[in-house]
């Protein structure tokens, strides 16, 4: 089985396993106690904190360990907003942040705060100028990921940090996806990360709060971790997390070159071996191991199952693979095709032969799904100036498939009206039009759902 979902969780690094086992015998006691066992545990915890600070590029007393990366985000956002509540109640986030950031923003908004969601370009990147434009006198905090978790696009953190610093607004960086590859550039104020993203054990997060940043921890607190992460520290897991961070950093420069070559091979070959594919994300400013593409006329869940049977573990941002039946907020914000979406995120050490085998298997997997769904063959008959396609009650990618089947049944200049109550249609029909050189006119209200109008140009 080839594991290609490292962006969700990287396999446990051998160094992490060794450190975890070694510290089980020394790090089990309460590090707050003064007897010998407690002192041993405290030494392990202090050494881990210092090593983490060195890797991040901050002071040791600015680092706290949390039970997860999401908890680090929630604590960091809530604490920074509370610490600056006298300044105002305005939060800035990007439209493609991790769900932990967006959930924190929703909680803040529900409590009466104001949230500005900065849009991204088609590659998934924000512009520093847009963050500058979003800043207000009452802005308490801005948040930006260092790199996107779904498409791998690297964000201009340094530029955003500069405009935030000039306005006196702290910037919290979600560095979960990038910290294993190197320190985060720029004059940021807070940082959150998660150990299982770089090959550490799950259940360990990092929160950094720079000295001078106003911060008020929310909820019950105790004397541990500066009052910012209450509860008994999982010292063996913390030791393993930091040991693996140091290990992957030592390998990062060389491994990044290799993984970039492999992902570039996927980016170049997939459109050659599979028709009607859109490769998404920035082609240059991206993480080494992530490549994402979407396939027309493909059910995302069915494609993931086909690839799983062929021995490949990948993930998807397609609405077809979610319980909500809505497309990924990241793909939606980018305005790209969401149906048949596949994210390949390669772990360190992956074999090039596995990538080659994936490229051999993928065309057959896509073809099998398209055949099951009745994907369109070229149409020749011309019947009317306008056709109505009733796709109400049908989920992705059926509305687009039915559109593609009948577009040839209207003359050039004719229109197709697609009726759909699937939220993904609002994203996928315009994306199909762009890929197939047809004109998307827009949408209109319908008795049920929405009518999407497409004009045939070719």
Catalytic residue among 164, 320, 396, 433: 320
- Is 320 part of the annotated catalytic residue set? yes
| Distance between CA atoms of residues 262 and 281, nearest Å | 16
Asked if 439 and 403 count as a contact pair (C-beta separation under 8 A), the reply is: no
Phi-psi region of 210 (alpha: psi -120 to 50; beta: other; left: phi over 0): beta
| Distance between CA atoms of residues 421 and 97, nearest Å | 27
> To 10 degrees, the CA torsion angle through 319, 151, 370, 313?
-90
**Is 130 buried (19+), middle (13-18) or exposed (0-12) by CB count in 10 A?**
middle
Other beta carbons within 10 angstroms of residue 360's beta carbon come to 12
Other beta carbons within 10 angstroms of residue 308's beta carbon come to 13
| Token representation of residue 119 | 């849009």
Contacts of 374 (CB under 8 A, 6+ apart): 401
Label the pairing between strands 205-209 and 190-194: antiparallel
Nearest Cα neighbor of 157 from 125, 185, 119 is 185
Contacts of 255 (CB under 8 A, 6+ apart): 288, 348, 349
Where are any strands of DSSP class E within 32-104?
63-66, 90-94
Compute and round to an integer the Cα radius of gyration of the chain.
24
| Token representation of residue 267 | 């980016």
Catalytic machinery residues: 320
């Amino acid at each position: 089985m080839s594991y290609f979902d490292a962006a969700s969780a990287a396999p446990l690094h051998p160094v992490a396993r060794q450190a975890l086992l070694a510290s089980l015998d020394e790090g089990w006691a309460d590090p707050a106690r003064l007897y010998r066992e407690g002192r041993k545990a405290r030494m392990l915890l202090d050494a881990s904190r210092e090593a983490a600070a060195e890797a991040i590029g901050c002071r040791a007393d600015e680092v706290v360990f949390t039970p997860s990366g999401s908890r680090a985000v929630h604590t960091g956002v809530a604490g920074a907003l509370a610490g600056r509540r006298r300044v105002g109640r305005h939060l800035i986030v990007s439209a493609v942040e991790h769900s932990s950031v967006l959930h924190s923003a929703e909680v803040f908004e529900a409590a009466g705060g104001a949230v500005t969601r900065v849009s991204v370009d088609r590659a998934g990147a924000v512009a520093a100028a847009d963050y500058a434009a979003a800043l207000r006198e009452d802005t308490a905090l801005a948040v930006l990921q260092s790199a996107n978790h779904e498409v791998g696009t690297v964000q201009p953190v340094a530029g955003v940090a500069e405009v935030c610093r000039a306005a006196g607004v702290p910037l919290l960086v979600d560095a979960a996806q990038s910290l294993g590859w190197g320190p985060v550039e720029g004059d940021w104020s807070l940082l959150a990360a998660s150990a299982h993203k770089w090959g550490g054990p799950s259940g360990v997060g990092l929160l950094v709060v720079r000295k001078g940043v106003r911060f008020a921890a929310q909820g019950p607190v105790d004397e541990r971790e500066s009052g910012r992460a209450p509860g008994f520290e999982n010292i063996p897991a913390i030791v393993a997390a930091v040991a693996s961070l140091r290990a992957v950093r030592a390998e990062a420069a060389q491994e990044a070159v290799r993984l970039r070559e492999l992902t570039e091979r996927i980016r170049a070959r997939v459109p050659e071996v599979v028709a009607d594919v859109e490769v998404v994300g920035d082609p240059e400013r991206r993480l080494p191991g992530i490549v994402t593409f979407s396939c027309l006329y493909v059910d995302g869940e069915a494609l993931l199952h086909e690839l799983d049977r062929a021995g490949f573990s990948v993930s998807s941002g397609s609405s077809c693979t979610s319980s909500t039946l809505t497309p990924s907020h990241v793909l939606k914000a980018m305005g790209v095709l969401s149906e048949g979406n596949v994210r390949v995120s390669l772990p360190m050490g992956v074999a090039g032969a596995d990538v080659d085998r994936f490229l051999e298997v993928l065309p057959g997997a896509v073809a099998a799904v398209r055949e099951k769904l009745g994907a369109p063959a070229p149409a020749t008959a011309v019947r009317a100036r306008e056709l109505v396609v009733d796709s109400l009650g049908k989920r992705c990618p059926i509305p687009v498939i039915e559109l593609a089947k009948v577009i040839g049944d209207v003359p050039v200049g004719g229109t197709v009206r697609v009726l759909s109550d699937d939220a993904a249609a609002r994203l996928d029909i315009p994306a199909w039009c762009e890929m197939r050189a047809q004109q998307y006119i827009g949408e209109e209200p319908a008795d049920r759902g929405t009518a999407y109008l497409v004009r045939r140009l070719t």
